[in-house]
Structure 1
C-alpha cells in the first residue's frame, strides 16, 4: 500500500470563508481499491469481441473530515479499465476541497469540474469527481442525523428491486433458471437477464425459458448492452413483446438518441437506457429527445449526487421513469426520493466492501435508518486497497 500525507494551505484551495460559513473541510483521503469477482462475467459486449470478460472492479473511495469533526465517505468505480486514471485525477483535484464549507456542495462540484475542464466535462473527469460529491452528501445527512433519503425528502421507505447478476450470457441457461428461483426465494421483485447474442434465436430461447419459469405477471427485463443495430432492435423487439417485458435495456449504442426514440415510439415494450452516459447534459439530450421510458443514470458515472438530482428533476418533469444503474448502496436513497415509483438494481457484488447489509423484503429494498448513506468500509475493503493519498491536516 502506498501512503502519503501532503498538507496544502487551505488559503490556496479556497477563498476566505464568510460569516455564514459554519465549518470547513480540513482533510481528504483518496484510495484505490480493487474488488476481485468470484468468476469472470460476460455480456453481449464480450461475445461480440468488443470487450474482455469482467474479472475485477476498481473503486475510488473519498473520505472527508471537517474542522468540526464531521465525516463523509463516497465512491466511484470503473469496470475493466480506467480505475488508475480516475484515481490519478481524483488526487489532482482533491486539494480544491480544502478550506471549503462542506455545506456548499453545488459550489464545490463546479470547482472540481472546472479544475479538470481541459479534459472535458464528462467521462473520466466527472467520474473522478463523484467520490467527493457523494462523500459531501453523506456528510451532510450524517450531520443532520438522517438517512440521505430523508434529507432529500423521501416519497417511500422502500424501493422495488430487481436482480441482474444471475442472468449474464456467460451463465448457462440451466444455471440462469436456478438463479431465478434463488432470487425469488430471497425476496427479489424482478429479474433481468442479458441478451444481445450474435444469434438472436439463442436470446429468444433464454427469454422464453425465464418467462415460463417466472410465470405471467412477474416483472422481467432484458439488457442488450448496446449490441443491436436499429433493424435488429426493431424486429427482435417486436418478437419479444409476447413476453410482457418491463423494459428492453440499451438495445442500441448509448449515444443513438434518434434510434432509441424511434424504438420508444414504435414498440409496446418500454425502452430503458442511460447508464453509460457521464454527465447531466448527456442525460438531458436523452430525455428531451424522448429516447427512453426508463432513464438509468449512475451517480458515480455522472459525477455524483448533485448532477443525479438534476437528472431526477428533469426526468420527473418529462414523465420518464427512473431505474438507476448499479451501486444500490447509493441509489436506494436517491430512488426513494423520486416522485414516480422507480426500480432499484440489485447487485450483491459489493457486499464484501461494507460492514452493513441492505434488507430485501417482499420484492423491495428497505431504506436503512442509519444516518447518511449508511455504510462503512470493511476490513476486506481495506485489505483490497492498493494505494492511498491524504491531503490537509490528518484528524
Structure 2
C-alpha cells in the first residue's frame, strides 16, 4: 500500500466518523437548535347562553349541557416562537384532562418542537397505564395542536396550506340552532336565518322517544327551507337497529344530506348494515377516541361520512392518520365541532368535506371565521389563526407553567 493510498483511506475513515457523528446527532433530535422552553396549561369553563338538550337528555342518559370545559396549552420555544392548542370536554372530564396534562407537560421541556410525531408518542406512553385513548390522549391533544400551530407559524403558512390544502373554502352547516331544547318555531327561525347567512346547510336533532315528533320536526324544517340549503339530522346514538331502518326509510322523502349517529357509536357492523340498507348517507365517528376505533368503523364501511374530532382522538397527529384511512376508502368527511381547527383539516382532505359551524367558541378567540356562498373560508393567518381572548383568560379556573 502506498503512502497516498493510506492517506486516502484515513481521510475516508475520518469522513465516515464525521458522518456517523452527524447522523447520531440527528437521531438524538438535534436537527434544529430551537427547543421548547416553557409550557403553560390552563383550564377554562365556557358558559352557554342557555341549557341545551339532544336525544341523550330526552332518553335520560345525560343532563342538559350548560357549559363546556376547555384545556389550553401554550408552548413557547427558546427562540420565542409560540403555539396555542386546546382540548375540551362536555358535562364531565374537564378536571381530569387538566390533571393528566399537568403530569405529562414536563416531558415537553427541552424537546425539539418540530418532532411532533415522536413527542406525541412520548406523551401518550408517559400516561399509558390509563390507556392510549379517551381522556389520556385528549389531554395530549392540546399539546399536539399547539405544536402544529407553532410549526405552521414558523413556516408562515395557515395550517391548511402547511398540510397541503385541496381547497381554500369548505362547505359548512350549522348545528347550534337545531337542538331539541328549542321549540319547532325556534328551530325553523334558526334554519331560515342560517339559509340567509351564507352557511350551506342546517342540522337538526332527532331521536326523541316519540318518533312521530321527529317526523313532524323534519317535515316542518324541510318545508321552511326548501332546497335553498342542505338538511341533515342527528339522532345522537339513540335508536336501535330496527328503529334506525324504519326512520331512515321514512326520512328518504326529505332528501337529507345524511343521518348522523343513528346507532351506538361502537356498533360498526350495525352502521354498515344501515349504510347498505338506506339511500340516505350515514355519518358517524364523533364519539370515537382513537385511530384504531376509526379504523374499525372504516373497515366495516360503517359510514359514508366519517366525523372524527381532533381533540377527542388526541390531536392533529392521529387525525391525519384517520384522514389517510378515509381517503383510501373514498369516504367523505365532516369533522365534529371546533370549526376553528377542523376547517384547516377539512381543507386538506381529498373527498369534498363539510365543516360544522358552531358559534359557541367565538368568545374564546380574538379572531372570527368568515362564510360566503355556503362555504367557510380558510383564513390567511399563519397557524390555526386564533389567539386566546381576554374573555378566555377571565373564564380560566386553573393555570400552571412548566419550564422557564
TM-score of the two chains, using structure 1 as the length reference: 0.95
Residue aligned with 1:277, SS: coil
Distance in structure 2 (CA, Å) of the matches to 1:104 and 1:265: 42
Residue 228 of structure 1 pairs with residue 243 of structure 2 = no
Asked if the contact 1:335–1:343 (Cα under 8 Å) also holds between the matched residues in 2, the reply is yes
Selected match of 1:25 from 32, 36, 39: 36
Residue aligned with 1:221, SS: strand
Corresponding residue for 2:373? 362
Corresponding residue for 2:92? 81
Report the structure number with the largest CA radius of gyration.
2
Selected match of 1:341 from 331, 339, 352: 352
**CA deviation map 1:202-257 (0-9, x unaligned):** 00000001111111363110000000000100111110111100000000000001
Residue aligned with 2:32, SS: coil
1:181: Cα distance to partner? 1.2
Selected match of 2:61 from 47, 50, 67: 50
Asked if the contact 2:29–2:115 (Cα under 8 Å) also holds between the matched residues in 1, the reply is no
Corresponding residue for 1:165? 176
**CA deviation map 1:114-136 (0-9, x unaligned):** 01111011110011110000000
Residue aligned with 1:191, SS: strand
Corresponding residue for 1:208? 219
For residues 7-156 of structure 1, the aligned pairs below 5 Å read 17-156=28-167
Asked if the contact 1:17–1:100 (Cα under 8 Å) also holds between the matched residues in 2, the reply is no
Runs of 4+ in 1 over 3 A off after TM superposition: 15-19
Residue 198 of structure 1 pairs with residue 209 of structure 2 = yes
1:41: Cα distance to partner? 0.3
1:16: Cα distance to partner? 9.8
Asked if the contact 1:17–1:101 (Cα under 8 Å) also holds between the matched residues in 2, the reply is no
| Runs of at least 5 residues in structure 1 that lack an aligned partner in the other structure | 1-14
Aligned Cα root-mean-square deviation (Å): 1.1
Asked if the contact 2:202–2:231 (Cα under 8 Å) also holds between the matched residues in 1, the reply is yes
Corresponding residue for 2:4? none
Asked if the contact 2:29–2:112 (Cα under 8 Å) also holds between the matched residues in 1, the reply is no
TM-score of the two chains, using structure 2 as the length reference: 0.93
Residue 380 of structure 1 pairs with residue 391 of structure 2 = yes
1:21: Cα distance to partner? 2.8
As a proportion of its length, which structure holds more helix? 2
For residues 226-305 of structure 1, the aligned pairs below 5 Å read 226-305=237-316
Asked if the contact 2:73–2:84 (Cα under 8 Å) also holds between the matched residues in 1, the reply is yes
1:17: Cα distance to partner? 4.7
| Inter-CA distance 313–128: structure 2 relative to 1 (3 Å threshold) | same
Residue 326 of structure 1 pairs with residue 337 of structure 2 = yes
Distance in structure 2 (CA, Å) of the matches to 1:280 and 1:126: 11
Distance in structure 2 (CA, Å) of the matches to 1:19 and 1:255: 42
Report how many aligned residue pairs link the two structures.
Answer: 379
- Greater Cα offset, 170-179 or 181-190: 181-190
Asked if the contact 1:24–1:66 (Cα under 8 Å) also holds between the matched residues in 2, the reply is yes
| Runs of at least 5 residues in structure 2 that lack an aligned partner in the other structure | 1-25
Corresponding residue for 1:7? none
| Inter-CA distance 72–196: structure 2 relative to 1 (3 Å threshold) | same
Residue aligned with 1:313, SS: helix
Asked if the contact 2:30–2:112 (Cα under 8 Å) also holds between the matched residues in 1, the reply is no
Corresponding residue for 2:362? 351
